Structure 1
Amino acid sequence: MTDNNMQPQIPMPALPPRPGEASATPMPQSTPTYPDTSNMTPQPAYPDAAGTASPAQPQQQYPGYPEQPSQPYAEPSNTAYAPAAQPYAGGANIPPSIPAGGAGPSNEYQPQQPIPVTVVQQAPAYKLKTNRSLLKYILLGLITLGIYDIVVMYDVTESTNMVATSHDGRKSTNYLLMYFLFGWLSLGIAWLVWYSNLSDRIGNELQRRGMPREVSMSDFWLWCILGSLIIVGPFIYLYKLLKATNMMCADYNARG
């Protein structure tokens, strides 16, 4: 059998007073704290979904960070970027690309010096004759009844054309045509023009190659025409003509 008086008594909380009772003691109510809106910036009103603008909510402003004073940038000296000389395996110091304490390479345009080019002239494969002589011209001409003289003068004409035509743009008439055709038809006048021009071409070619002018147009008129009065004049002219031709052909064989 249980005794009700032995059960522990649980205290009941006090009920709030009914409205209208004077003796009711009001319960203490806590006052809510709101943030300070004096430093807040009012926000603009935005329309809600229904189309009505909602009142602007104040926005609190927070103090910003203090601005740091600007410090001037100190430009480093040129010595800071000057590479140090490093020795290589031989032990010598390699000079720096930028001198210490000096300015770097200039960006200004500097004209380059022309590189000399040496042109090497190749000797021709075909060698011209260089053994003409006045003695053989006279003796072999007498033995062959003038045939050797014709061959020699033909060779002189063709050698002159081969060496000098590419430079002076002229070409002497074939000696065989002069001997068998033009000489007789012109009553000897074509021979005067032909020998005069041939002598002038050989002398000009020697002068162009930096050699002494052994024969010229004046030599033909002086020794071959006027010198015929003393008999030996034409032989002196032939000697000068053959010698000049040998010099021209020898230089052509060596340098082209």
Structure 2
Amino acid sequence: MIGCGCDVCLSTNSKDQRLRTSVLVQSKHTSIVIDTTPDFRYQMLRSKTTHLDAVLFTHQHKDHIAGLDDIRAFNFFSGNAMDIYANSSTEEAIRRDFYYAFSDKRYPGTPELQMHTIGEAPFFIGDIPIQPIHVMHHRMPVLGFRLGDFTYITDANFIEQSELDKIKGSKVLVLNALRKEKHLSHFTLQEALDIAQLTGVPQVYFTHISHQLGMHEAINAELPNHAQLAYDGLCISL
């Protein structure tokens, strides 16, 4: 956190040094990023990602869309527009904030984006099946996603039972857990543990973690065997 001198912010443990929340999902033939954070460029460089087929967006808050302009690098290498998937409100925000990418007379070098509106129905990106999961971020409807056996939900504080049912049968669940104290729009650590238990998913990782949660190693030691904190650079194989 900018300007903070707490133990977490001053920690030399790389697992306490977190960028904004995003994930890269790869199959044999397809690569998808969920959310282009303000750190998107560095995240792609650090992970040595050279190919990307599509971007899924959870919602329109700036910590999840602000890095979209750097998609232009993938446009250059592929020679194609990038497929962008979002709900209607997020699509509206993207078209507003990155208006120059949708102009009738685009300036050379601006990102090339092909928008797709997400509704209720499942769909495929390449060989990866996508099941949208509708959750609440305080009063804002946002999206989580089930991609095969992997479910990813961030920025949520409420999930209807019908949406929880879509998670069941996953092998891995990634879920937000901001801190231990109550928050207006994010699950606490205990709330996230409770939600995970309701789904019955055998392996759970917590993400979108605030410095207020505490040191990575200390919090991990408190968690049950099936749950742990995610960290930057974590790789999960299914």
Which has the larger helix fraction? 1
Alignment TM-score, normalising by the size of structure 1: 0.21
Alignment TM-score, normalising by the size of structure 2: 0.22
Which has the larger strand fraction? 2
**Which has the greater radius of gyration?**
1
